[in-house]
Amino acid sequence: PVNEVYFGFELVKKYNDKLWVHADTLSDFAKSFILPKAEEPPFTPFEFNRRPSQKIVVGNLDVGGDAVPRVELEVKASLSNVEKVRDEIIFSAKPFLRDGAKSEFTSITTDCIDDVKAIQAALNEKFVAPILSVSVSQMLTAKALVNSVDKIRLNIKRGDVPFEKEGLQHLVGRAAIEFSFVKTDETDTAIAEILTRLAEKCRAVGLERAMFSIQAKDIIYPYRRLAQAFKKAQITFPIVLRYDARHVQPTNNPHAKIPDSTIDASTLCTVAVQLGTLLCDGIGDAVALCSNLLRGDELNLVYNILQATRYRMTKTEFISCPSCGRTLFDLEEVTAKIKARTAHLKGLKIGIMGCIVNGPGEMADADFGYVGTGVGEISLYVGKEVVERHIPEAEAVDRLVELIKRHGKWQEPEASLAEETQS
C-alpha cells in the first residue's frame, strides 16, 4: 500500500493539472460550463467496442480488422554505425522468436536512401528480414522507397498538406504508408480534418494500404477527435497510436522505482495513461512507443499495457490485492514464489488474495486462485469454485502447481522456451 500511494498520485496528476485555472485560460475554462451540449464521443464508456477498421498487410503481418494491435519501436543507435543499428534491430525484432514480446515493426528515421540500403544489406548478411519501417519527412524519399521497404512513415507538419491526388498515386506499391501528423500548436479538430481529407484522397486514388497517426505530447484528445472524424466520414483505415515519452522526467522517489528495471513511476503512469486510455476506448490498430528506457524494458512496458487492456496475452496474468489487516501471510513473498513457478504460462490468469472477504470477487475472472483462509491456511480455486480448502501454507504453492497440471494448463518452462525460439 505504501508504494501504491505514489503511483496513485502519478495516475491522477495529468488530470489534476488541468483543473488549475490561470488568468489567460479563464475564459476557455468558463466556456466548458456553458456549452449547450456535449459532443458524442467516438466510443461508449459503458462497454468495450473496438473501432472497426479495414485489414491491411504490412510485410507478412495483418494490421487492423480483427488482428491484434501490432508493436513498433524505434532504433536508438546512430545510423552512421550500421552494425550497431543492425544488431539493435535484430534484438528488438527477434526474427527467430515465433511469439512473445518483440518489435514487430522496427523504425529508423532518415531521408537518406543510402542509409536504408546499407542497413538492409547488413540484415541480409545475417539472413534475417524483419519488417523495417522508415520514417521520412520528404515526399520524394517516400516515393523512392515505396517498392523497397515494407512500411513508410511520412511525417506531416503544418504547410506540408494538402497532398494532391496525383502525388498520392506514386505511393501505391509494396510499402504500407503511415501518414503521421506532427502537432505543434494546431487544434485537435484541425488535425482531424486534415487527416480525414487526406484519407479520403487516399481512398479515391486506390491507396488502400494506408494508416494514420498523430505525434503530440498529449495524444488522448487528438486521437479521440480523429476517431470521431473518421467515423463521421466512414473512413476505416487503421490508426497507429504513436507516443514519444522521452520528455517524461524520471522521479527520484525510492517508492516509485520498479526493481531491476529502468522504468519508474512517471514513465510507467504517463505511458499507461496515454496509450491505455485509447486502447480501452477501442482505438488503436498498432502501438508505437519511443522512450528513454532500455529496449527490454520498453518492450515489457508496451506488452504489459496490451495485456492489461486485454488485447494481447503474452505472459501469465497475476491478480493480487494490496493486502490489509486481514491478510495473514506475506503477500509479496508468496506472490514472488508463485510468479517464479508460473510466469511462463502464457495467457493464464492467477489470483493471489489475502483473505476471503473481497478476494474471490476481485479475482472473479482468474483461471486459478490462491486465497488466505486463516492463520497458515490457504484455499485454492478453479475459476470461482473452491476446490481445496485449508491447505498448510508451506504446501500451498506446490499444490497450486499440481492443480494447474491436473487441469491441463501446465507447460514446462524449458519446453516453452524451446518452442518460442524455433524459427
- 209-225 pLDDT tens trace: 999 999 999 999 999 99
The answer to whether residue 166 scores a pLDDT higher than 90 is no
Q: Model confidence at 43, in pLDDT bands (50, 70, 90)?
A: confident
What element of type H or E holds 61?
strand 61-63
291 vs 282: CA distance, rounded Å: 24
Q: pLDDT: is 349 or 255 the higher one?
A: 349
Residue 228 pLDDT: 95
Residue 417 pLDDT: 43
The answer to whether residue 1 scores a pLDDT higher than 60 is no
Residue 94 region by backbone torsions, left for phi larger than 0, else alpha for psi between -120 and 50, else beta: left
Give me the amino acid identity at 154.
Answer: L
297 vs 291: CA distance, rounded Å: 10
State pTM to two decimals.
Answer: 0.86
Residue 28 pLDDT: 53
Note the pLDDT tens digit of each residue in 286-328. 999 999 999 999 999 999 999 999 999 988 999 988 778 788 8
Neighbour-count burial for 374-390, b at 16+ CB within 10 Å, e otherwise: eeebbbbbbeeeeeeee
Q: pLDDT: is 320 or 29 the higher one?
A: 320
Residue 13 pLDDT: 78
Residue 32 pLDDT: 52
Least confident of 14-28, 160-174, 345-359: 14-28
Report how far apart, in Å, the C-alpha atoms of 75 and of each of 87, 116, 186, 268, 382 are: 10, 13, 28, 20, 43
For residues 179-202, give the mean pLDDT. 94
Question: Using an 8 Å Cβ cutoff, are 68 and 347 in contact?
Answer: no
- Look at the alpha carbons of 334, 336, 342, 345 in this order and tell me if their dihedral is positive or negative: positive
Structural domains of the chain sorted by starting position, each given as residue range(s) with its CATH number in brackets: 9-20+40-308 (3.20.20.20), 317-418 (3.30.413.10)
Q: Can the peptide bond before residue 95 be classed as cis, meaning omega within 30 degrees of 0? A: no
Q: Model confidence at 361, in pLDDT bands (50, 70, 90)?
A: confident
Residue 20 pLDDT: 62
Least confident of 103-117, 139-153, 209-223, 244-258: 244-258
Mean pLDDT of the chain: 88
For residues 13-20, give the mean pLDDT. 72
